[in-house]
Chains A and B, each alone.
Chain A
Amino acid sequence: MADVSLRKVVKRYDEVEAVRGIDLDIADHEFVVLVGPSGCGKSTTLRMIAGLEDISDGDIMIGGDVVNDVPPKDRDIAMVFQNYALYPHMTVAENMSFGLRLKHYPKAEIKSRVTEAARMLDITDLIDRKPKQLSGGQRQRVAMGRAIVRNPKVFLFDEPLSNLDAKLRVQMRIEIKKVHQKVRTTTVYVTHDQVEAMTLADRVVVMNHGRIEQIGTPNELYHKPATRFVASFIGSPAMNFVPCRLEDVGGKLNVRLTDRLAFALPPARAARYQALSRTDKLLLGIRPEHVMDARPHAEPGVEPFDAVLDVTEPMGMETLVYFTLEGTQVCGRVSPNAGAQDGSPLRLAVDLNNMHLLNEVTGAVL
């Protein structure tokens, strides 16, 4: 058990900077997920923590000790790989005990640890099989078992669920969460799947172009994104961004989307955006669930408007509706009973209490 710290960590491959100065503090017992699109440097960061990649600059600390030049085997970490990386010629038990056998643990100790881990992961029956006799999900459990028996300071997961089918992925996600609740080992988990990131993490680190865009709890990232990248990356369907500008009408602050469509801001929002320039090019960021079917009674800050739907997607518990505002496609979520149909008009409402305003040029959330 230990905390992990990264100080201005840089990774350069010849000319390319894959990781551009990362500062990150991971507390003991914490489950941190690094998430971002492919090529954002998240896997490289993980591999630097593991010691599989040298760091070009900066410091990495595990349990307070700088481990920059410590080889992987002396860092007391365990890693789970995307393609499982099980030793094909060894049985499940041998795979799990390999690390312990190398360190010459007593046989009884090895046996009890393997049995305990197998029980925890529900693979007791498979203990004498070879990896090729196992399904993808079972292999991933063995890979986790191999990490657990080592009882390391830190668990590292490198996209462990990417090779599994959708259903199994959900199941293993829950499994990983359960394991972490039991063993409480500090965990760094890399994924490109924002749902995995949101559901597993104590804190999520969103990365893009080798930099950290934002660090926060899943709810913070969802409700208070710092940049347009985070706002669009977290949440599915993604947040809508509609070009807009602010204008004063009769002493009230309005946000104008099109020549015919403008909304009065609720008082709290108006106060927050009062100081902004009226000529700045802005984006209205609004999540699909805040573009809903208009209710009969008025609510403060919820403004109704009419839209002609392009496409509707019935999902069962809700229907996703798509319409166009000045060339920008907008997605909303309405009740399945709202009568949404492809090509027909519908009375919608936008909840401005949950809106975001972004600078169109810098992408910063204002």
Chain B
Amino acid sequence: MSTVTIDKAGPTRKVKYGSMSRDRTWALRWSYFFLTLFAIFSLTPPFYMLITSLKGSAEISAATNPWWVHQPTLENYVQLLTSNQFLRFFWNSAWVSIIVVTITMLISVPAAFALARMKFWGSATLATGVFLTYLIPDSLLFIPLFKMFAVFGDWTGIQLVNRWYVLLFIYPTLTVPFCTWIMIGYFASIPKELDEAAIIDGASWFQTLTRIFIPVALPGLIAATIFAFTVSWAQFLYPLVFTTSTDQLVLPVGIITTLIKGDVFNWGQIMTGALLGAAPPLIIYAFLMDYYIAGLTAGATKG
């Protein structure tokens, strides 16, 4: 047996124990600081809306603390929910959104599948093109689109302008490109072998899409659905331009055009209407949040 000499000097530098966790603590403190800041920033407007919606018009115009309700009242809610007009806007919005979501999914899911999987000549260019379409702002498109529908009306006698269903043709120009893009990313993350296995098992392209891709890509599909719904629910410019009669209006435009009369702003009802209008997307988000996040991040990990 040989003797082993141990060098007792060891390392001279003082080892900082727990330095990793100290870094982490600071990182967390900063994250919470900015998260709090961001939360205050984004929650203040809805909070203000809620406060104002609970006030009567006398209290709104009175010079009291605007962040507190002294005499809370549901008067605004009662008035809005019993007004046929407001319910009409609500139904118009609901119908437009539901039908637009359906149209969008029926177009963008097969389109994304074709662009992601059926490698045909020009498919890559087309996929980029789809995304570029999405980048064109609606403020650039609404005048030519209006002209197109007006001319279409002159030629065929089918009047689409100032009908709520004209929006069913217009909204998909916003939703289809983006949803297609999300779904391309999601489909691309599905291993190639999966559709090859399905094809060898005897599935047609359509069966591969419906029986393999759609179930596997369900989180992505839900994310796209929520997106399409939110876009059509919150769209303002197009309905403002294309619909004018009160019974054809959707919620965002309806609130503005009927509750602002000249220079008289019915603040209490405007705030109430906006709050009620924000509710459906909020409820849908709350239920499908996990799916939404999974869907948005899934495409990102694998190109």
Seen from chain A, the residues whose Cβ lies within 8 Å of a Cβ on chain B are 50-52, 71-73, 77-79, 81-83, 85-89, 98-99, 102-103, 146, 150
Contact = CB atoms under 8 A, between A and B. Distances in A.
A139 to B, nearest CB: 12
B interface, size bucket: 10 to 19
Nearest to A98: B201
A81 B204 CA distance: 19
Given A83-B191, A83-B193, A89 B200 contact: no
B216 A72 contact: no
Contacts of A51: 200
Contacts of A87: 194, 197-198, 212, 216
B196 A79 contact: yes
Nearest to A102: B202
Interface in B194-221: 194, 196-204, 207, 211-212, 215-216
A46 to B, nearest CB: 12
A143 to B, nearest CB: 8
B191 A72 contact: no
B203 A102 contact: yes
Contacts of B200: 50-52, 72-73, 77-79, 99
A87 B193 CA distance: 10
A99 B196 contact: no
B199 A73 contact: yes
Contacts of A86: 197
A72 B200 CA distance: 5
Interface of B: 191, 193-194, 196-204, 207, 211-212, 215-216
A73 B215 contact: no
A82 B207 CA distance: 23
Contact of A81 (B197, B207, B215): B197
A99 B216 contact: no
A85 B198 CA distance: 9
A72 B197 CA distance: 10
A86 B194 CA distance: 7
Nearest to B196: A52
Nearest to B195: A85
Contacts of A50: 196, 200
Q: What does DSSP make chain A's interface, helix, strand, loop or mixed?
A: loop
Nearest to B199: A72
Contacts of B202: 73, 99, 102-103
Nearest to A147: B200
A78 B200 CA distance: 6
Contacts of B191: 83, 85
A97 to B, nearest CB: 10
A83 B191 CA distance: 9
Nearest to A47: B196
B55 to A, nearest CB: 51
Contacts of B207: 102
Given A87-B194, A87-B212, A89-B215, A150 B201 contact: yes
Given A87-B194, A87-B216, A98-B198, 20 more contacts: A51-B200, A52-B199, A71-B199, A72-B196, A72-B199, A72-B200, A78-B200, A79-B196, A83-B193, A85-B191, A85-B194, A85-B197, A87-B198, A88-B216, A89-B215, A98-B201, A98-B211, A102-B202, A146-B197, A150-B201
Contacts of A98: 198, 201, 203, 211
Contacts of B196: 50, 52, 72, 79, 81, 85
Nearest to B194: A85
A87 B191 CA distance: 10
Contact of A73 (B203, B211, B212, B216): B203
A57 B68 CA distance: 81
B193 A73 contact: no
A78 B216 CA distance: 22
Contacts of B215: 89
A52 B198 CA distance: 11
Contacts of B211: 98
A103 B211 CA distance: 14
Contacts of B216: 87-89
A81 B200 CA distance: 11
A157 B272 CA distance: 65
A146 B201 contact: yes
Contacts of B201: 73, 98-99, 102, 146, 150
A88 B203 CA distance: 16
Nearest to B204: A73
Contacts of A77: 200
A51 B203 CA distance: 14
Contact of A79 (B197, B203, B204): B197
18 contacts: A50-B196, A52-B200, A81-B197, A82-B193, A85-B191, A86-B197, A87-B194, A87-B197, A87-B198, A87-B212, A87-B216, A89-B215, A98-B201, A98-B203, A99-B202, A102-B201, A102-B203, A150-B201
B1 to A, nearest CB: 22
Nearest to A81: B193
Q: 8 nearest interchain CB pairs? A: A85-B193, A99-B201, A73-B202, A85-B197, A89-B215, A81-B193, A102-B202, A72-B200
